[in-house]
Amino acid sequence: MTIAHAGTTTAPVPTQSTYQNRVADYWNAEENPVNLELGKIDDLYHHHYGVGDVDWSVLDEPDRARRRERVTGELHRLEHAQAELLAGHLGPLTPADRVFDAGCGRGGGSVVAHLRHGCHADGVTISAKQADFANAQARERGIDEQVRYHHRNMLDTGFTTGAYAASWNNESTMYVELDLLFAEHARLLRRGGRYVVITGCYNDTYGRASREVSLINAHYICDIHPRSEYFRAMARNRLVPVHVEDLTEATIPYWELRSQADHLVTGIEETFLTAYRNGSFQYLLIAADRV
């Protein structure tokens, strides 16, 4: 197995579409407080949403500055709970195992997996800025020999076939074609390896993508897939689901709290809540084994 050198590694840049270049430009320029302020709490930067029950007492805090601090901390706690939930579905891992974080963002998920399982992690992002940031965080933690981030395309990583015991996408599948993505995961995973995805998807039983789903697509420059396509694309790429969990109800409280965080709102919060409540949008966890 080829071990990457510490620091950001860059493969020969694979062919990227104009759309992928736009996505890279978006994340290279992104400085959203809802990502950065939460991460500053413990230097775990998550680029996803939260799950679980909210401590609503944070809104009763009379001191304005303290209220902002408590709300930020509660949102971060819920996002970290989501990362731990995903890591808990990666299967039995050892410090000798390698895992692959596809669309790693600023790197929080890879750190969570390493701290939980002791495994080696390779994160991939299409944003050079994110890869540099995440590698700096790993160096500060003293785990840069075990956790590394790479500026590469998750559809064409150049990593060794069969080298990974587990892999995942955490809210990043809506930026790519699922068949291309799952083919790369199937190539990288050893037989019996575990793939996990947490994603927002539109509900086929509702019909076509709703107005709210279209607004979310426009906000994040993404293309949300229908729920059914995840299972069809997995079946075509030797990934067999072993656990499916609907997290929609579990994430609604996070969005309710975030909609009241005046210092962090992005303007998309009510759209998410409407989509979840009218049934057109779902938040799913799927764990699948590579056969």
Phi/psi at 127 (nearest 5 deg)? -100, 115
pLDDT tier at 170 (50, 70, 90 boundaries)? very high
Domain containing residue 33: CATH number:
3.40.50.150
**C-alpha closest to that of 167 among 187, 152, 138, 151:** 187
Give whole-number Cα distances, 168 to 35, 83, 151, 191, 285, in Å: 20, 11, 17, 15, 11
Residue 10 lies in a domain: no
Range name among 27-41, 93-107, 150-164 with the lowest pLDDT average: 27-41
Range name among 6-15, 108-117, 128-137, 161-170 with the lowest pLDDT average: 6-15
**Cβ atoms of 58 and 25 closer than 8 Å:** no
Q: DSSP readout, 53-108?
A: ---GGGGG-SSHHHHHHHHHHHHHHHHHHHHHHHHTTS-S--TT-EEEEET-TTSH
Residue 108 lies in a domain: yes
9 against 207, higher pLDDT: 207
pLDDT tier at 13 (50, 70, 90 boundaries)? low
Residue 7 lies in a domain: no
**C-alpha closest to that of 71 among 237, 227, 263:** 263
Residue 8 lies in a domain: no
pLDDT of residue 37: 87
Q: DSSP readout, 210-233?
A: PHHHHHHHHHHT--PPBHHHHHHH
pLDDT of residue 15: 54
Residue 261 lies in a domain: yes
Domain encompassing residue 200: 18-290
Question: Each residue of 257-279: pLDDT tens digit?
Answer: 999 999 999 999 999 999 999 99
Residue 1 lies in a domain: no
Residue 2 has pLDDT above 50, yes or no: no
**Cβ atoms of 50 and 75 closer than 8 Å:** yes
Which tokens hold the place of 260? 């009241």
Which tokens hold the place of 55? 């401590």
Residue 107 lies in a domain: yes
Residue 64 has pLDDT above 80, yes or no: yes
Residue 230 lies in a domain: yes
**Cβ atoms of 45 and 161 closer than 8 Å:** no
53 against 9, higher pLDDT: 53
Number of folded domains that form the chain: 1
CA dihedral 276, 209, 199, 9 (to 10 degrees): -140
pLDDT tier at 7 (50, 70, 90 boundaries)? very low
What's the rounded Cα separation, in Å, for the pair 107 and 112? 9
What's the one-letter identity of residue 282?
A: Q
Q: DSSP readout, the chain?
A: -PPPPSS-B-PSPPP--HHHHHHHHHHHH---HHHHHHHTTTT----S---S---GGGGG-SSHHHHHHHHHHHHHHHHHHHHHHHHTTS-S--TT-EEEEET-TTSHHHHHHHHHH--EEEEEES-HHHHHHHHHHHHHHT-TTTEEEEESBTTB--PPTT-EEEEEEES-GGGS-HHHHHHHHHHHEEEEEEEEEEEEEE-GGG-SPPHHHHHHHHHHT--PPBHHHHHHHHHHTTEEEEEEEE-HHHHHHHHHHHTT-TTT--S-HHHHHHHHHTTSEEEEEEEEEE-
